[in-house]
């Protein structure tokens, strides 16, 4: 059972544009929502994370928006750069599950110069 659904599967954006990736979850016990960035041949690296008690978190060009009632959260990459070309995964976990992360299916982002 896929508990975290991610869309789109891929997207192409021009340099300087905005990339938007969406995730929806089912388990209301989830209380931690990180985003990971993965380059080819590398392991995932934590990009930014949010807890459900805030609706938005911004770190540099990356912003997470969180809608608890809709059980959805999204990643916005502002001023996208070619170096942002990677696969992005949303994930979720909850207290009773410790460090267990449930990942979405991933979004391949290509930023064209």
Interface residues toward another protein, by CB under 8 A: 6, 31-32, 34, 36, 41-46, 49, 51, 89, 91, 93-95, 97-106
Give the shortest CB-1-to-another protein separation in angstroms. 9
Give the shortest CB-73-to-another protein separation in angstroms. 15
Smaller CB distance to another protein: residue 31 or 61?
31
The Cα-based distances of 75 to 7, 23, 97 in angstroms read 11, 9, 24
97 three-state secondary structure: helix
Give the shortest CB-81-to-another protein separation in angstroms. 23
Q: What are phi and psi of 89, to 5 degrees?
A: -120, 130
With contact defined as beta carbons under 8 Å apart, do 75 and 21 qualify?
A: yes
Apex 26 CA angle, 21 and 29, nearest 5: 110
Smaller CB distance to another protein: residue 20 or 97?
97
Smaller CB distance to another protein: residue 18 or 45?
45
95 three-state secondary structure: helix
Smaller CB distance to another protein: residue 30 or 111?
30
């Amino acid at each position: 059972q896929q508990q975290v659904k991610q869309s789109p599967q891929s997207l192409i954006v021009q340099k300087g544009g905005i990339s938007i990736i969406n995730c929806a979850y089912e388990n209301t016990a989830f209380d931690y929502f990180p985003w990971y960035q993965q380059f080819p041949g590398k392991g995932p690296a934590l990009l930014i994370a949010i807890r459900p008690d805030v609706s938005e978190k911004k770190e540099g060009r990356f912003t997470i928006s969180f809608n608890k009632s809709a059980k959805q959260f999204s990643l916005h990459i502002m001023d996208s750069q070619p170096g942002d070309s990677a696969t992005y995964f949303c994930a979720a976990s909850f207290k009773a599950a410790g460090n267990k992360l449930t990942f979405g299916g991933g979004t391949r982002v290509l930023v064209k110069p």
